[in-house]
Amino acid sequence: MKIYRKFIRIIAVTTAISCTTACSDFLDEEDASNFTTDTYFTKAEHAESAVNGIYEPLVPITNSGFGGGTWLMLEFATGLANTSLGQATNIYLVKDLINNSDNGYGNSYWTEYYTGISRANLAIEKIPEINMDETEKQNYLAEAKFFRAYYYFGLVRMFGNIPIITSSVDLGSDQLFPEQASAEAVYDLIISDLTEAENSSLAWRDASGRVSMGAVKTLLADVYLTMAGFPLQKTENYQLAANKAKEVIDSGVFGLFDTYDELHDPVTKNTGEYIFMTQFAANIQSGNWQPAILPYNLGISAYSAQTGGIFSTNEFVASYEAGDKRAEEKQFYFTNYSLEADRTDSVNLGAPYIFKHFDIEANAQSAQSDLNWCLYRYADVLLMYAEALNEAESGPSTDAYEAVNLIRRRAELADLTGLSQDAFRDAVRIERVHELSFESKTWYDMARWRKAYNPETNELEDFVGHNFSYLPNKALAERELLFPIPTSEMQNNPNLVQNTGY
């Protein structure tokens, strides 16, 4: 735990160093005390600080307050979320299918992810020049390449054709106004970076929360599975996805938690089911999404900001199978809670709020959350494996059944058995929707499946033409398969072409 907290502290204080830019063009004389990108990268500690800075853009994505939060964009795009936060315009643009390029959430994703890419590019350029232990050098490069792949993977799925930038950029760079590349070209870069990262000696798990071999192979499995679906439809990648997921399974390093309580217990971060997380530490860099998942001013929390930013629709929680433990009170969701002023008294929250992200101790006392934000956990890998193997082998095998049934057994549900390929496909997809709810996974799945989940029928429907339960007179259009490129980017770069429909 001390190592973990030291890592968080280092990230918080070294980020600025990783984006240092040359100042010689602006000064008549150079000050030898000033670092530049040409003079900074001279020893192993500089490599570490440069890579630490690449982690930081993950943090602002979870920032939440009375303006909502960037991460909410992907949840409201599913039609399975609701809000009582009236002033958060960005939420309603997505939720009510009237989104446009002025949406601040999309701008934040674009800005933060390209910041991460910029820092990764700088590290990949400069670290090879440092005289240091070669194994350590290759592992730092693997971390940088993992992150460049991760950030591009998010951007290409959200925005489609995007600029590829693989070198550091200054005012004289020919990449200052880059053109968009095809989605396939972006995926080629992603796979190249991840396969190179695989050739490092990264450990399967890192207790401090740094990038691990488990994270690299999990991300690669996700990339292959996504490429097998829409829009690329490279169906040969189903087998590649299954193979990578199987490597994670066969490592024996990861396993499902016994209880759902462990999903939001700070003691379990970077252990057990968790493969990769955004790192937080109370009183250093506190987990900052709690205000969004608290009901609006009902007095249940030590947090002064209780915004009602996001909760589940009633229809979605009701869509879980009868007896599903995940839908029971204070498992994945909660509908009542004790009052901060008197813990012997409680209040009905009026809706199912998200308990899997709820920090009990922080809300009871400190208003400083020590929870991490999960990016990948083992349940996701099991479901990737089951889905990919079903497609690769033209039907469910014993291994595919076992992968999904491990998740169902924890939910106290009966095993799936005796299904056709089509029926198994739908069952695993619905299992993903229920298991990975409100973890920024479902919209990505809907886009690659070209299917949307109808909680009222418990079925998957064609994405285009699907109606959200609260918006029966307006259907999803093809444009909602991507988000609009932010207005500021369109104005700053004349080479960009806006996505269709925006």
At 370 the three-state DSSP class reads coil
Cα 91 to the chain's mean position, in Å?
A: 18
C-alpha to C-alpha distance for 289 and 69, rounded to whole angstroms = 8
**Exposure on the CB side of residue 86, measured as CA atoms within 13 A:** 1
- Please tell me the chain's helix, strand, coil percentages from 3-state DSSP, rounded to the nearest 5: 45, 10, 40
For 45, residues 6+ apart whose C-beta sits below 8 A from its C-beta are: none
* Other residues' Cβ atoms within 10 Å of the Cβ of residue 243: 18
DSSP string, 58-119: HHHHT--BTTB-TTHHHHHTTT-EE---TT-HHHHHHHTT---TT-HHHHHHHHHHHHHHHH
Indicate the DSSP class of residue 18.
Answer: H
Tell the CATH topology of 13-24+36-64+85-199+457-502.
1.25.40
pLDDT for 175 equals: 75
C-alpha to C-alpha distance for 64 and 60, rounded to whole angstroms = 9
Please tell me if the domain spanning 13-24+36-64+85-199+457-502 has the same topology as the one spanning 202-279+375-440. yes
Cβ atoms of 316 and 47 closer than 8 Å? no
* Other residues' Cβ atoms within 10 Å of the Cβ of residue 283: 9
Using alpha carbons, select from 96, 87, 69 the residue that is nearest to residue 310: 69
For 122, residues 6+ apart whose C-beta sits below 8 A from its C-beta are: 18, 19, 37, 50, 168
Burial class (CB in 10 A: 0-12, 13-18, 19+), 475: middle
Give the residue carrying structure tokens 């298991």. 435
Backbone torsion region of residue 468, taken as left when φ is above 0, otherwise alpha when ψ lies between -120 and 50, otherwise beta: beta
Which tokens in the block code for residue 363?
């809300």
Query: What does the chain come to in residues?
Result: 502
Using alpha carbons, select from 258, 254, 236, 235 the residue that is nearest to residue 245: 254
Cα-only R_g, the chain: 22
Which tokens in the block code for residue 451?
């299917």
pLDDT for 21 equals: 39
pLDDT for 176 equals: 82
pLDDT for 267 equals: 97
pLDDT for 20 equals: 42
**Taking the C-alpha atoms of 302, 306, 310 and 315 in order, what is their torsion angle to the nearest 10 degrees?**
80
C-alpha to C-alpha distance for 353 and 332, rounded to whole angstroms = 9
Give the residue carrying structure tokens 């889905």. 387
Which contiguous run of DSSP H or E holds residue 354? strand 342-354
Q: Which CATH class is domain 202-279+375-440?
A: mainly alpha
Cβ atoms of 358 and 334 closer than 8 Å? yes
Angle at 313 between CA 311 and CA 315, to 5 degrees: 155
Spans of all domains in the chain: 13-24+36-64+85-199+457-502, 202-279+375-440, 290-371
Amino acid of residue 166? T
**What are the distances in angstroms from CA 178 to CA 22, 284, 418, 490?**
21, 37, 52, 12
| SS3 labels along 255-284 | CCCCCHHHHHCHHHCCCCCEEEEECCECCC
Cα 196 to the chain's mean position, in Å?
A: 22
DSSP string, 227-247: HHSTTT--TTHHHHHHHHHHH
Which tokens in the block code for residue 134?
């070669």
In tens digits, what is the pLDDT along the chain, a chain of 502 residues? Answer: 555 666 676 665 555 444 443 333 333 444 444 556 677 899 999 999 999 999 999 999 999 999 999 999 999 999 999 999 999 999 999 999 999 999 999 999 999 999 999 999 999 999 999 999 999 999 999 999 999 999 999 999 999 999 999 998 877 777 789 999 999 999 999 999 999 999 999 999 999 999 999 999 999 999 999 999 999 999 999 999 999 999 999 999 999 999 999 999 999 999 999 999 999 999 999 999 999 999 999 999 999 999 999 999 999 999 999 999 999 999 999 999 999 999 999 999 999 999 999 999 999 999 999 999 999 999 999 999 999 999 999 999 999 999 999 999 999 999 999 999 999 999 999 999 999 999 999 999 999 999 999 999 999 999 999 999 999 999 999 999 999 999 999 999 999 999 999 9
